[in-house]
Structure 1
């Protein structure tokens, strides 16, 4: 087969395919099929309501409005009235409603048996927890991943009631910054006045994607550098 014949075959095949309904039908079927994934929330009939909340997946302080129908979360949007994120939203926060319906979500207590995790009932889980806590006594410890709510306060009080002081946050930038601030004589957590800073020197992590209150950082930058200005 010569070069000209090969090009003619390819061009003719491409044109013939585009003139048939096959690619358009496949595209339509793919768009329909992709909406049938089990983790996409099905919107029930009813009135839409907006519930202000705070993202728990994104710990940078993202205020959100959750769209609910009959109390069921269906979508998540940025909350323009939130003083920190000011309507901005991250890719983590915007997907929180879908993750509620993910088939991979852990939906019951799990007990390790060998190399496997076996689902057990809540009654069995509570009995097992009580047994392990009694055996641990004052050596019980807690590692909490909740640094934007009051959950860690509850865990800390629970551990203290057992006679232990071993309650920790998951390792994070905020924890290290807070400890450094305390050693310098400060109290509480470190705060950054991004909006009123004359200059921000960022070395290392991306302040718009991964460092600190990154959604708020991006909103402050956008306000100071408007499009077309």
Structure 2
């Protein structure tokens, strides 16, 4: 990844998948702009800069088109191109996430879909003209998109939409040499995961029933992102990659 440049979106704290990705990309030689969602997160993310190679930190709310425009304009100003974009962003209102899918509100469903799925498409649209020599777009999904996982609820249909969008974007952008992937970690103790009911039970299940008898770490996910964004992954696109110590084999 030496000389590669790109954006990692979705940093919240040191347990964030975005942190593991930015750290692994830096260790592999890449240079990043790393985004966080709101000014309230700044005090949590600033102390992490050294472990990520002191990247440029940018506040970016993906619901605000002007902020997305500014983010990619900054990447263009700094490098003239983008080689990779990592989208590690998901949200659903707790009242909708904790209830049945059949009971979710129209507003909650639309908000979850906008932030967790369509924002990836919006970022891909802005990245495309900066990837004249090709590049890699990556997002984070979960096995609950494919099978029913207790308590995953609303995020299941939302992540299913994200995985489908991944395949369509891969087909549309492939002729320009742009690869698109979904990365599917198992249970990881992140702030977002804390919003799921009975998450500790899900984590214990991963630790006891995965073939490797452990959970994946944010660093494991980051290392996978490095592989996919590097020349080693040049012939891969449109796939969902499980990084869950093999747990998906037993669902």
Point out the structure with max Rg over C-alpha.
Answer: 1
TM-score under structure 2 length normalisation:
0.24
TM-score under structure 1 length normalisation:
0.25
